[in-house]
Amino acid sequence: MDASLPAHMRPERSFQGFILALQRFWAEQGCVILQPYDMEMGAGTFHPATTLRALGPKPWNAAYVQPSRRPKDGRYGENPNRMQHYYQFQVIMKPSPPNLQELYLKSLAAIGIDSAVHDIRFVEDDWESPTLGAWGLGWECWCDGMEVSQFTYFQQVAGFECAPVAGELTYGLERLAMYVQGVDRVYDLNFNGRDGDAKVTYGDVFLQAEREYSKHNFEVADTTMLFEQFKMAEAACRKYLEAGWKDGKREAHLMALPAYDQCIKASHVFNLLDARGVISVTERQSYILRVRELAKACGEAWIHTEAGGAA
């Protein structure tokens, strides 16, 4: 930890200081520090900086915070740590550096988790995203029995082999910050590191939003519109993919990113419909497959772009 930091910016004092510490650490490892993607998504992995950039031969190191929306996890602000909106901190390094585990442990030290007094463990947890057609092997990282991060070596994304393999780290920011700050309820997190009247808590920022969105996600979200949106996003994705092939030949693609936005959109709309309980068990599988087909087609388009490594 950086001793020169003012008290309110220290990772164990403020949520924002916590995020800044992580960003600074990974910036020092050569990552580009991106800002959150400007679309609703269920996990930081959906950010094109991970999904698409994991494909193709070009080296890529990035880190960013991504708000993650899980409509089904809403609890009207009543559960101490479950929310329909929370933050993930995502790191991707391609190819995975040989010392990625050490870097990860150093990043924990940077946010105030000292490996001399904590019990840090790598426990098997293989990662799979059916909607992204992606899988990898790795661990959930435990600190004193609590899962604090997900550590994955991507083997396949959008149905394509990762060559080279990217290493991905996902930190559950609120949970880690709660641990470091020593609070049991997420809404009690000190957001800005100030005391007294100047103090702003996580609850001050997000509690009302959790209540409102829980009501929206479970009770009110317009399902007719959402079903329509899903279809529209799916159709738009296919349309942009089709139109993106340069000169109509499947050699170079010019619109992988806009098409992929529609895939992200479809995935989130599906999550909302799922939370509304209007998708049956059998339908559920077919929706997941439809999103996966979009993700695969986007991945194929991406590897035919410049950033995707096409000649």
Partner 1 sequence: MPDLLLELFSEEIPARMQAKAADDLRRMVTDKLVAEGLVYEGAKAFATPRRLALTVHGIPARQPDLKTERRGPKIGAADAAVQGFLKATGLTSLDEAKIQRDPKGDFYIALIEKPGRDAIDVLAEILPVIIRTFPWPKSMRWGARSGKPGSLSWVRPLHAITATFGLETEEPDVVKFSVDGIETGQTTYGHRFMAPAAIQVRRFEDYEAKLKAAKVILDPQARKDIIFADAKELTFAQGFELVEDQVLLDEVSGLVEWPVVMMGSFEAEYLAIPDEVIRATIRNNQKCFVVKDAKTGKLTNKFVLTANIEAADGGKTIVAGNERVIRPRLSDAKFFYETDLKTRLEDRLPKFEQIVFHEKLGTQAVRIKRIERLAAEIAPLVGADVAKATRAAHLAKADLLTEVVGEFPEVQGLMGKYYALAQGEDASVAVACEEHYKPQGPADRVPTDPVSVAVALADKLDTLVGFWAIDEKPTGSKDPYALRRAALGVIRLIVENALRLSLMKVAASALAGLSVKPADAQKLPSDLLTFFADRLKVQLREQGARHDLVDAVFALGGQDDLLMIVRRVEALGKFLESDDGKNLLAGIKRASNILSIEEKKDKRSFDGTPDPALYGLGEEKALAKAIGEVQAEAGAAVGKEDFAAAMSAMAKLRPPVDAFFEKVRVNDDDAKVRENRLKLLNEIRSATRAVADFSKIQD
Number of residues that bind partner 1 (CB under 8 A): 39
Structure tokens, 200:
């702003």
Amino acid symbol at 132 = L
Q: Is 224 in the site for partner 1 (CB under 8 A)?
A: no
- Which residue in 119, 222, 242, 283 binds partner 1 (CB under 8 A)? 119
CA-CA distance, 36 to 86, in Å (whole number)?
Answer: 12
Q: Which is nearer to partner 1, 18 or 37 (CB)?
A: 18
Q: Which residues contact 33 (CB under 8 A, 6 or more apart)?
A: 23, 26, 27, 62, 63, 64
Residue 124 binds partner 1 (CB under 8 A): yes
Q: Write down the residue that tokens 């996580």 correspond to.
A: 202
Segment lying near partner 1 (by CB under 8 A), choices 29-37, 138-146, 233-241, 267-275? 138-146
Q: Which of 207, 173, 197, 177 is nearest to 75 (CA)?
A: 207
The one among 67, 106, 122, 252 contacting partner 1 by CB under 8 A: 122
Pattern 140-159, partner 1, x by CB under 8 A:
---xxxx------x-x----
Q: ∠ at Cα 251 (47, 301), nearest 5°?
A: 20
Determine if 311 is a binding residue for partner 1 (CB under 8 A). Answer: no
Residue 81 Cβ vs partner 1, minimum distance, rounded to whole Å: 7
Binding mask 69-108 for partner 1 (x = CB under 8 A): -----------xx-------------xxxx--x-------
Select the residue interacting with partner 1 from 115, 208, 285, 286 (CB under 8 A). Answer: 115
- Select the residue interacting with partner 1 from 4, 35, 224, 282 (CB under 8 A): 282
Which positions from 38 through 67 interact with partner 1, judged by CB under 8 A?
57
User: Among residues 103, 137, 236, 257, which is the contact residue for partner 1, using CB under 8 A?
Assistant: 137
Report, in Å, the least distance between residue 181 CB and partner 1: 12
Binding mask 179-218 for partner 1 (x = CB under 8 A): x----x----------------------------------
Bridge partners, 121 (sequence order): 142
Residue 281 binds to partner 1 (criterion: CB under 8 A): yes
CA proximity to 36, closest of 28, 24, 47: 47
Give strand ranges (E) for the chain: 32-34, 60-69, 85-94, 120-124, 127-129, 134-143, 146-157, 160-161, 167-172
DSSP state of 304: T
Measured CA to CA, the distance from residue 267 to residue 262 in angstroms comes to 9
Report the residue from 116, 198, 224, 247 that binds partner 1 according to the rule CB under 8 A. Answer: 116
Q: Residue 67's CB: how many other CB atoms inside 10 A?
A: 14
Confirm or reject binding of residue 163 to partner 1 (CB under 8 A): yes
How many angstroms separate the CA atoms of 138 and 154, rounded?
Answer: 9
CA atoms of 92 and 95, how far apart (whole Å): 9
In the bound complex, what is the minimum distance in angstroms from residue 300's beta carbon to partner 1? Answer: 19
Q: How far is CA 229 from the centre of its chain?
A: 23
Nearest approach, Cβ of residue 118 and partner 1 (Å): 6
* Distance spanning both ends of the chain, measured CA to CA: 43
| Positions in the binding site for partner 1 (CB under 8 A) | 57, 80-81, 95-98, 101, 115-124, 126, 136-139, 143-146, 153, 155, 162-165, 167, 179, 184, 280-282
